[in-house]
Structure formats: C-alpha cells, structure tokens
Amino acid sequence: MRFLLLFSRQGKMRLQKWFMPLTEREKKKVMRDMMMLVLARPPRSSNFLQWRDLKIVYKRYASLYFCAALEEHDNELLALEVLHRYVELLDKYFGNVCELDIIFNFEKAYFILDEFLMGGEVLETSKIAVGVSMEEADTLQEQTMEEYMSKPAY
C-alpha cells in the first residue's frame, strides 16, 4: 500500500497515512486528486479505479470514505478486506464508532492503524491481538501520566 486516506463527503481530511516519501505539496495534490476522483463516483460503481500507475481502492462507511492506493501486484479484493478490518478495529475500540470519534480522538485512530498496518503491509491479522495491544498501551500511557501527576508540584 502506498497511502491510506480517510475523508468526509464534504472533503475534510480525517486521517492520512503515507507509506512513501512525498513533499507537502505533493501530498496536498494527491489528496485533492483522490477526493475529486472518489467523490465523483456514482453510488453503485465498482470500488476500484486506476490513477496514474496505482490502483485505488475505496469504500464508503457512513459519512467517511476510506481510500487506499495499491501497487501493481497488490490484491484489490484483499485491500477491501483490509479496509473493512480497520473499520472493525475502530468499532471495537470506540464502541459503535462514528465520524466524531475519529475527529476528536484522531491520535487513537492513528495508534490503532499503527498496530494493524506497518510500512504499507498488514502487521497483525488477529482482531483480538490488536485490541489487546491497544489496551495495554493505553494503560501504560495513563500510568505514566498518573505517575507524573502524583509527584508534588512544588
């Protein structure tokens, strides 16, 4: 996978993960192109597009579009499964996830993504394992904050 974007129907970017080095300008251009291409698609079309030399796979979940760019030899049908798995992970974590959850807790969305994908490849194929890692990491985070808080101020 080359990049993964989440954006709303109104064209607001909610999450962007880049697996290839690009400058800020290039990233902006890519995001604009993606939004234009995907938002223009009629409702019952196929989920695959060709853009430059990449295969674009996108899926709409409620008000959010999940858009991934694949290389020539990647399996598009599996990419649909990858997107679906990510949504399931978010759903499990936030409990009935909606767009607001991803807006207000964007850093969590990134952390979950980092437990599921790495370098554009699937990292963990078990739903449970990702959930467990997130919980443990969150606990660790809270513990370190508590530790800090429990120190006397002055």
Partner 1 sequence: MFHPPVGAPAVERAEDMNSRDQIAEVCWCFQPTDCCRVGGRLNRSSSLILFWRVPLHCTAMSPSIPLQEMIRAIRSARTQCEERGVIQRECAAIRAQFRQADNGARSHNLAKLLYVHMLGYPAHFGQMECVRMIASPRYSEKRVGYLGAMMLLDEKQDASLLITNSIKNDLSHSNQYVQSLALCTLACMGSAEMCRDLAPEIDRLLRASNSYIKKKAALCAVHIVRKVHELGELFAPAARSLLTEKNHGVLHGAVVLITELCERNPEALERFRKTVPDLVQIMKGLVISGYSPEHDVAGISDPFLQVRILRLLRILGRHSETASDAMNDLLAQVATNTDSTKTVGNAVLYETVLTVLDIKSESGLRVLAVNILGRFLLNNDRNIRYIAMMSLQKIVGTDHNAVQRHRGTIVDCLKDHDASVKRRALELSLALVSASNIRSMMKELLLFLSSCPPELRAQTASGIFNAAERYAPSQRWHIDTILHVLTTAGGDVRDETVPNLIQLITNTSELHCYTVHKLYRALLTDISQQPLVQVACWCIGEYGDLLLKGECQETEPAQVTEDDVLDSLETVLQSHMSAPATRGFALTATMKLSTRITDNVDRIRSIVSIYGSCIDVELQQRAVEYNALFKKYDHMRAAVLERMPVIEKNSLGQTNGESAVEAIKAVQPATVKQGEPPLPLQPANQVCDLLDLLGGSEEPLQPSSVQSGTASGLPINNSSTAGGDLLDLLGGFEPTPAAPAPAVTVYEKDGVNLTLLCEKHSDSGLTVTLTASNSNDSDISSFTLQAAVPKSVQLHMKAPSGDFLPARGAAKVTQMVVLNNPNKVNLKMRVRISYTSQGSACQDTVQIDSFPGL
User: Binders of partner 1 among 57-116, rule CB under 8 A?
Assistant: 73, 75-78, 80-82, 85, 94-95, 100-101, 103-107, 110-111, 114
Q: Out of 48, 60, 87, 92, which residue is the one contacting partner 1 (CB under 8 A)? A: 48
Q: Which amino acid is at 65?
A: Y
Tokens 């490849």 belong to which residue? Answer: 121
Question: Minimal distance in Å, beta carbon 106 to partner 1?
Answer: 6
36 near partner 1 (CB under 8 A):
no
| Cβ distance to partner 1 smaller for residue 62 or 78 | 78
How far are the Cα atoms of 13, 32, 94, 129 from residue 5, in angstroms, in the given order?
7, 11, 19, 24
CB of 19 to partner 1, least distance (A): 7
CA distance 60 to 99: 12
For position 9 contacting partner 1 by CB under 8 A, the verdict is no
Q: Is there binding between residue 10 and partner 1 (CB under 8 A)? A: no
- Distances in Å between the Cα of 6 and the Cα atoms of 49, 72, 75, 107, 119 are 16, 22, 20, 14, 17
User: For residue 70, what are the β-bridge partners?
Assistant: 55
Residue 49 tokens read as: 């597009």
Provide, rounded to whole angstroms, the least separation between the CB of residue 8 and partner 1: 12
- Least distance (Å) from partner 1 to the CB of residue 133? 7
CA distances from 75 to 47, 56, 70, 72 (A): 13, 11, 8, 9
- Which parts of this chain interact with partner 1 (CB under 8 A)? 12-16, 18-19, 21-23, 28, 44-50, 73, 75-78, 80-82, 85, 94-95, 100-101, 103-107, 110-111, 114, 118-119, 121-129, 133, 136-137, 140-146, 148-149, 153-154
